[in-house]
Chain A
Amino acid sequence: MTELKSTALKDIHLAAGAKMVPFAGYEMPIQYSGLTDEHLAVRNGVGMFDVSHMGEFILRGSKAIDLIQKISSNDAEKLEKGKIQYSCMPNGRGGIVDDLLIYQVEDDAYMLVVNASNIQKDWQWIESHNSFGVQMQDISDRTSLLAVQGPKAAEALLGLTDMELAEMKYYTFQKGTFAGIENVLVSATGYTGSGGFEIYFENQHAEKIWNAIMEAGMPFGIKPAGLGARDTLRLEKGFCLYGNDITDETSPIEAGLSWITKFTKDFVDHKYLKKQKENGVSRKLVAFKMIDRGIPRQHYPLFNEEDEQTGEVTSGTSSPSLKLGIGMGYVKTADAKIGNSIFVEVRGKKVKAEIVKLPFV
């Protein structure tokens, strides 16, 4: 087994009482004060996550846009400097290599933010399509990333920068001085659905920036939050998690990601996915909430109203906001209607749930 990597903030996490777990090759904080407490801090106030394990690639050159258009499903021509796009990389076999954010950082340069567990796979995949002579650089190991999330995030960070955070539009970013450090990238993005920012900078500044944010956030009740709360927050909003809800075996059309699959351009799997979109798919990712008591977990079987197995759970949890079980999973298209009853097999018992529209909260 390869040795676990740490982020630049390991000592800070331990001092804050974090419980650390291995995740995607990194030793990461899964919780500090408690998952529910951290979850509610983000929903109602502000919380901070160290997500430095995420991968960052810089693609530079006049043909960088052509490489990105080839490998990604969304239309990156819509980007301009300072804007961000959510996209995914189809894998040439109808599945997904990874989902990612694409930042246009210069006229001819882009930053791709990818999942930690896929850094190597994504790099090799993108490189294998780089017949355009695009200069590629992996800055993952020297880049720290903090997600400051929640309705009070802008107010909490206001005093740390001249950047106009409160006016920053969703899926845009700026570079500037933050907590006295130059060249910090602040983007109005996140994986919680509660608003806030993601802040990218070089590792050597990690402790200083973390401490400055904790101090500035103190009047707003800021709490450090772990990967546990990050997962329950994203699931309440129905955001897909790579490895659970989207994988090398699921297509973006099945996953409900048609909105980031644009047939205005040529790209990997373009024809296959267009056909899927036109002819329909045999299974779909749906969201459901428990009607009877039970908590869905990954891989629990799903049954339709006729008691036939129709799929399985890809993500499930007890929702800290709703205090009931919620989940997502693939079911046969005929069973995928909003309002349908669906049954989750929990330890041998079939427990009733209802297919609902996203988000849950």
Chain B
Amino acid sequence: MKIPAELKYTKDHEWVSVDGDIATVGITDFAQGELGDVVYVEIETEGDELDEGEVFGTVEAVKTVSDLFMPVSGEVVEVNEKIESEPEVVNDDPYGEGWMIKVKLSDAGQLDSLLDASAYESEVG
């Protein structure tokens, strides 16, 4: 199971990478493994201002369905179009091509309460 050291994590098994005031969000390798083969990802919140912990979308796998939660508050400024046409990239490359949304941070201070890689590792270990 991959847990890249440079990313931040949540207990809901999402990862966050920050560039300036934009956070990129996806689900972790652990999460995609638990879900199994992803069939589609439904994200209809582009342009919405959402609070930390709110649902921004849903992942449908063959056997299960799971909500996606905002790791931080902000506006959903972009949704990955690739996961619309090729949802399997969420399984194949969860930290790369399988990213889900970009969020314009409304409170950069929230980043401090996210887990680092070693804290997340003990969460799923």
Contacts and interface: CB of A to CB of B under 8 A. Distances in A.
Interface residues of A, number: 16
A317 interface: yes
Interface string A317-361: 110100100000000000000000000000100000000000000
A231 B63 contact: yes
A228 B58 CA distance: 21
Nearest to A347: B58
B36 A35 contact: yes
B40 A31 contact: no
Interface string A23-47: 0000000010011100000000000
A35 to B, nearest CB: 5
B124 interface: no
Contact of B63 (A35, A293, A323, A347): A35
Interface in A6-32: 19, 31
Contact of A34 (B36, B40, B58, B60): B36
Nearest to A319: B62
Nearest to B37: A36
Interface string B28-69: 000001001101100000000000000000101111010000
B54 to A, nearest CB: 15
A73 interface: no
A347 B36 CA distance: 20
Contact of B36 (A228, A293, A297, A323): A228
A271 B33 CA distance: 50
Nearest to B39: A318
A36 B63 CA distance: 11
Interface in A163-193: none
B81 to A, nearest CB: 16
Interface string A230-249: 01100000000000000000
Contact of B40 (A293, A317, A347): A293
Interface string B10-35: 00000000000000000000000100
B65 A317 contact: no
Given A318-B60, A347-B58, A295 B65 contact: yes
A97 B63 CA distance: 26
Contacts of B33: 19
A101 B33 CA distance: 35
A323 B39 CA distance: 8
A297 B61 CA distance: 11
Nearest to A37: B37
A297 B65 contact: yes
Contacts of A318: 39, 60-62
Contacts of B65: 295, 297
A317 B63 contact: yes
Contact of B62 (A19, A293, A320, A347): A320
Interface string A184-207: 000000000000000000000000
Contacts of B37: 34-36, 320
A36 B58 CA distance: 20
A295 B39 contact: yes
A231 B62 CA distance: 11
A36 B40 contact: no
Nearest to A39: B62
The 7 closest A-B pairs by CB, nearest first: A318-B39, A36-B37, A318-B62, A295-B60, A35-B62, A35-B37, A35-B36
Given A318-B60, A318-B61, A318-B62, 8 more contacts: A34-B36, A34-B91, A36-B62, A228-B36, A228-B62, A232-B62, A297-B65, A320-B62
23 contacts: A19-B33, A31-B36, A34-B36, A34-B37, A34-B91, A35-B36, A35-B62, A35-B63, A36-B37, A231-B63, A232-B62, A232-B63, A295-B39, A295-B65, A317-B62, A317-B63, A318-B60, A318-B61, A318-B62, A320-B37, A320-B62, A323-B39, A347-B58
